[in-house]
Amino acid sequence: MTATDHCLFLSVPCQPSWFWITPYYAVMLLAINMALARLVYITERQTKVKLSGAMAPKCKTGCGKNAILKRPKTGDALCRECFFWAFETEVHNTVTAARLFRRGQYVAVAASGGKDSTVLAHVMKELNQRYDYGLRLVLLSIDEGITGYRDDSLETVKRNRDQYGIPLTVLSYEDLYGWTMDDIVKQVGLRNNCTFCGVFRRQALDRGAAQLGVDQIVTGHNADDIAETVVMNVLRGDIARLQRCTAISTGTEGSIPRSKPFKYTYEKEIVMYAYFKKLDYFSTECIYSPNAYRGYARAYLKDLEAIRATSIIDIIHSGESLAVRDAARLPTQGTCSRCQYISSQPVCKACVLLQGLNQGRPRLGIGKSSKVQERARETEGESDDRSEVDSATVTVGAG
């Protein structure tokens, strides 16, 4: 063998000095090759077994198909189609048990482009057709004016409008209040921004619903959201909110009812449904999302869930069973003296927050209701260079 000869096994140039050890070397390499060949054979076999599904569990329903997921809510191994069926049937059962809709109703689906509202719009359309609810559906979106977040998510809602053939109406904070969330954050910072955003959104949805003339609004609040709210209200000792936060439908005299068809639906299952259905949704977090308190409640629930899988539903049932003492003082609902929208105070929270923004006193509406009302009364009429609550609607037809 010369310096340019190649080793029989390794295809590398052999050195002349190696020549005398070749028989020993060859035996060793043969053994290694045989071991590798066996490994490749075993791996291929296992892959084939996996692909053919011979080892995969069968769907719990007995449909004969292989299971592809384990339901977080029940632990059942299900195939894709049986999971869709179970998910949709549970929502239908929730809707019928609570008698949420009446035939002929006009219903607005609050749509943000996120997973919950996208799945809700999809399921509402599906159930409306399958069970002939006889509903007329519309998507209602609120544009808070958050650059790089809401503008992108609204593009998703517009695609959903076209995909589902449901008309869409968009209302913006800028048109309603003269302020975008970008402007509000510039003035108030990132501490109380979600208070402004939450209060304005709630009223904006009511205004949009009133303009559309809908009979009710459905929102994508899921079981995890409701359990978090129960925990937060217990920790805050907020009896009024604790009493109503587990209600599937809210809305007192004069206001448009809001319903939560996903009240008993786990967030994880909504994500699975969206994933397996390949729904088009927007999954980026809001850029102004500190909301630390809810974040702690969520983390606490996740810890509980790791120990006890039914924690979320258990907390909702506990919230439903809580009775409020007769002696507990609960706020009575009336209307705001400024904007005429529903309020438990003489001036609604949205009007006080807006007054604070317009007067350059962003903290005016933050804190205890009684103090807030007092401050709002004292400073009413002081320089207020932006307009009172105004309403405007941009309607975008179904594509």
| Min separation Cβ 393 and Zn ion, Å | 19
For the bound state, the minimum distance from the C-beta of residue 155 to ligand SF4, rounded and expressed in Å, comes to: 16
Neighbours of 225 (CB within 10 A): 20
Between 167 and 178, name the residue whose CB sits nearer to Zn ion: 178
Listed in sequence order, the residues at least 6 apart from 181 whose beta carbon sits closer than 8 Å to its beta carbon are 144, 145, 146, 150, 173, 193, 196, 197, 288
Nearest CA-CA partner of 3 in 18, 12, 14:
14
Q: State which residue, 77 or 208, has the beta carbon closest to ligand SF4.
A: 208
* Shortest distance (Å) from residue 129 CB to ligand SF4: 31
Q: How far is the CB of 156 from ligand SF4 (least distance, A)?
A: 15
291 versus 373: smaller Cβ distance to ligand SF4: 291
- Indicate which single residue of 339, 354, 366, 376 sits in contact with Zn ion (rule: CB under 5 A): 339
Token pair 């999971």 is at which residue? Answer: 83
Q: Which partner from the list ligand SF4, Zn ion, none does 197 bind, CB cut-off 5 to 8 Å by kind?
A: ligand SF4
Of the pair 65, 294, the CB lying nearest ligand SF4 is at 294
Q: Does 336 bind Zn ion (CB under 5 A)?
A: yes
Q: How far apart are CA 85 and CA 80, in angstroms?
A: 9
250, interface contact from ligand SF4, Zn ion, none, CB < 5-8 Å by kind: none
Strand 394-396, strand 168-172: pairing: antiparallel
What is the DSSP-derived secondary structure letter of residue 58? B
Query: Of ligand SF4, Zn ion, none, which one does residue 198 interact with (CB within 5 to 8 Å by kind)?
Result: ligand SF4
Residue 336 binds which one of ligand SF4, Zn ion, none, with CB within 5 to 8 A depending on kind?
Zn ion
Residue 187 β-bridge partners? none
Helix ranges (H only) for the chain are 22-52, 80-97, 115-130, 150-164, 173-177, 181-188, 193-212, 223-236, 239-244, 267-276, 292-307, 311-321, 349-358, 369-379
CB nearer to Zn ion: pick between 101 and 177: 177
- 138: contact with Zn ion by CB under 5 A: no
List binders of Zn ion among 341-380 (CB under 5 A).
348, 351
Contact between 120 and 262 (Cβ < 8 Å): yes
144 binds, among Zn ion, ligand SF4, none (CB under 5 to 8 A by kind): ligand SF4
CB of 336 to Zn ion, least distance (A): 3
109 binds, among Zn ion, ligand SF4, none (CB under 5 to 8 A by kind): none
Nearer residue to ligand SF4 within complex by CB, 144 or 228: 144
Residues 73, 74, 77, 82: is their CA dihedral positive or negative?
negative
User: Closest CB to ligand SF4 among 83 and 288?
Assistant: 288
Residue entry with tokens 């259905």: 277
The one-letter amino acid code at 245 reads C
From residue 385, how far is each of 340, 354, 355, 360, 382 by CA, in Å?
21, 11, 10, 10, 9
Using the rule CB under 5 A, give the single segment among 126-134, 244-252, 304-312, 333-341 that binds Zn ion. 333-341
Binding site for ligand SF4 (CB under 6 A): 144, 181, 193-194, 197-198, 286, 288-289, 291
Distance CA 394, CA 141 (A): 10
Point out which residues bind Zn ion (CB under 5 A): 336, 338-339, 348, 351
